[in-house]
Amino acid sequence: MTMPLLKVERLRKSFGDHEVLSGIDLSVNEGDVTCIVGPSGSGKSTLLRCLNHLEKPTGGAIFLQGEPVGVRWRGDRLYEMSFNEMARQRQKMGMVFQGFHLFPHKTALQNITEAPIIVKGTPRHQAEAEGMALLEKVGMPDRAHYYPRQLSGGQQQRVAIARSLAMKPALLLFDEPTSALDPELVGEVLAAMRQLAEEGMTMLVVTHEMLFARDVADHLIFMEGGVIVEQGNPREIMTSPRHERTREFLARVL
């Protein structure tokens, strides 16, 4: 057995006395695409945000490549990571959000090269060559010098994906990457994601796109009320869910 790339154990998160995650266990192997589905408010975004240090869990543990996330061992005691240690760990996880969060005053290419140049110290010419290759990969080599406002939502999201890839993450997290898009623009973003999946990128994708989940995911997780109700093979879950709550959810979205 090889070590999973990401392992989450009994993860809990509360806001005040509202428990949003009530003991999440999951693991993601290298090269896997895992889709997370579930009704609004079930804790999907909070789960991704805990993985990526945007929220601090109230219990449980997360391991990335075997390393605890957010804390570190010194001897036999756990300490919170320093900001620099967290930043280094966060670089291993790219995150793509529902809103594209591009820098509005930078071109597509500048959005992509910013972090490699500033954070990693990659020489500009190298970052630009890699950035152009990434724009090619997401099907936009001719839009390198466009500003976000000159791009459609689907194009902006593809730039956001290229920007995440520029840091060469071990894992890409997606939080409803197509939910803010006009319906006719969803397909081009899903196509870019599908291509990444085929190239072996490890991806954890919160989505409402059930056909994408069925066709692309290796593993499907259904969350509701802060717990994983059911997980397994996407086709099996979609054709014969074992839990009534999964069945009800699928009846609403399929």
Counting contacts by CB under 6 A, is residue 110 touching ligand ADP? no
Are 196 and 139 in contact by the 8 Å Cβ rule? The answer is no
Closest CA to 177 of 98, 94, 93: 98
Applying CB under 6 A, which of residues 24, 28, 34, 43 lies at the interface with ligand ADP? 43
Counting contacts by CB under 6 A, is residue 50 touching ligand ADP? no
Applying CB under 6 A, which of residues 3, 10, 15, 235 lies at the interface with ligand ADP? 15
**Residue 90 interacting partner from Mg ion, ligand ADP, none (CB closer than 5 to 8 Å by kind):** none
Pick the closer one to ligand ADP by CB: 152 or 231.
231
x-or-dash string of contact with Mg ion, 43-82, rule CB under 5 A: -xx-------------------------------------
- Sign of the alpha-carbon torsion through 153, 154, 157, 158: negative
Phi and psi at 209, nearest 5°, equal -85, 90
Q: State the number of CA atoms in the 13 A half-sphere of 96 facing the CB.
A: 33
Closest CA to 146 of 185, 103, 99, 115: 103
Give the separation between CA 177 and CA 157, rounded to whole angstroms.
Answer: 7
**Residue 20 interacting partner from Mg ion, ligand ADP, none (CB closer than 5 to 8 Å by kind):** ligand ADP
* Contact set with ligand ADP (CB under 6 A): 15, 20, 38, 40-46
* Contact set with Mg ion (CB under 5 A): 44-45
